[in-house]
Amino acid sequence: MATDNLKIQLRNVSKAFANKGSITAAVEDVSLDVRPGEFISIVGPSGCGKSTAFNIIAGLIRPDVGDVLIDGRSVAGRQGQVGYMLQKDLLLPWRTVLQNVTLGAELLNRSRAATQREARDLMATFGLQGFENAWPSRLSGGMRQRAALMRTVLSHQDVMLLDEPFGALDAMTKSLMQEWLLEIWTRFNRTIVFITHDIDEAIFLSDRVYVMTTRPGRLKASIDVNLPRPRSSHEITTTPEFGAIKHQLLTALRDEIMKAYGSPKLQG
Ligand SMILES: Nc1ncnc2c1ncn2[C@@H]1O[C@H](COP(=O)(O)OP(=O)(O)OP(=O)(O)O)[C@@H](O)[C@H]1O
Ligand SMILES: [Mg+2]
């Protein structure tokens, strides 16, 4: 892949954490590229360093080794360059829905009045109309996640990092949210990097899926998803092409999960 015109680049990034005298290598020598406007997913065993990689891209954690570039410029340790939806949705309970969704823009010192106007206009798109002045405790799980996602969209960054945004949802709601996310992605013309444990979700949404190894997380595979767009329906998941990609991904991932947990043994 040519290195010019890349939106995000991780170059040989490693990060270890010191915990009570022992060292945990979380991410090891990870290099990956994301082109403008791509939808990329990252899958890998629990604890393999996916969220750490996001924290590095978002500038919340500095890599020990390597560099992270956005639009060709190093952003290691620099915050405010991406929209980031953390693994926990983190709505602030003492702020209303409207005050929560405008928080990201507020932190970036954007005009409060303009952001609130935009937020009110988008409430229906995000299925939150009528809840502008509600407290987060009144929202369902799906609504909370949509509010957190709306906050990420309203921060107006070209890059959106979404860490398991639909992890807590039931299958039906999740499937609707996935179709809706693709609409948002197309409409707002963003670059999205998405972490998930759900292989079908990764394939359905993405242009490419990166598979990480068991900790320390390295890149194990990069699998292109050459399925036609728009993908507005889950019927695509029953096609042979989808099945072939899924088989490739499961094979790569299964080896890693076995390394992490050992192969299952039957009792008896
Ligand atoms: N701030 C921190 N301090 C110390 N150790 C950390 C810190 N953040 C992450 N780790 C450790 O680094 C490793 C990778 O964690 P990380 O959260 O990146 O994994 P993950 O792939 O996102 O897992 P999951 O799929 O469960 O969300 C884990 O062993 C974790 O305990
Ligand atoms: Mg995580």
Rounded-to-integer distance, Cα 145 and Cα 196, Å: 14
Share of the chain above pLDDT 90, in %: 67
Residue 179 lies in domain: 37-61+79-261
User: Is the pLDDT assigned to residue 1 strictly greater than 80?
Assistant: no
Residue 163 domain-assigned (yes or no)? yes
Q: For the sheet containing 22-34, what is the strand order?
A: 22-34, 8-19, 65-70, 73-74
Output the six-digit token pair for 120: 């009110």
- Structure pTM? 0.91
Residue 151 domain-assigned (yes or no)? yes
- The CATH number of the domain holding residue 112 is 3.40.50.300
Ligand 1 proximity of 125 Cβ (cutoff 6 Å): no
Rounded mean pLDDT, 140-163: 90
Provide the pLDDT for residue 233. Answer: 78
Residue 92 domain-assigned (yes or no)? yes
Q: Number of structural domains, the chain?
A: 1
User: Is the pLDDT assigned to residue 257 strictly greater than 90?
Assistant: no
Residue 153 domain-assigned (yes or no)? yes
Burial label for 207, CB within 10 Å (0-12, 13-18, 19+), is: middle
The predicted-structure confidence for 39-93, as pLDDT tens digits, reads as follows 999 999 999 999 999 999 999 999 999 999 999 999 999 988 899 998 887 799 9
Residue 68 domain-assigned (yes or no)? no
Q: How far is the CA of 86 from the centre of ligand 2 (A)?
A: 9
Q: Which residues surround ligand 2, an ion (CB under 5 A)?
A: 51, 87
Residue 73 domain-assigned (yes or no)? no
User: Is the pLDDT assigned to residue 155 strictly greater than 80?
Assistant: yes
Rounded mean pLDDT, 198-225: 96
Lowest mean pLDDT, pick from 77-81, 111-115, 138-142, 231-235: 231-235
Residue 199 domain-assigned (yes or no)? yes
Residue 3 domain-assigned (yes or no)? no
Burial label for 63, CB within 10 Å (0-12, 13-18, 19+), is: buried
Q: How far is the CA of 120 from the centre of ligand 1 (A)?
A: 36
Q: Pairing mode, if any, of strands 65-70 and 8-19?
A: antiparallel
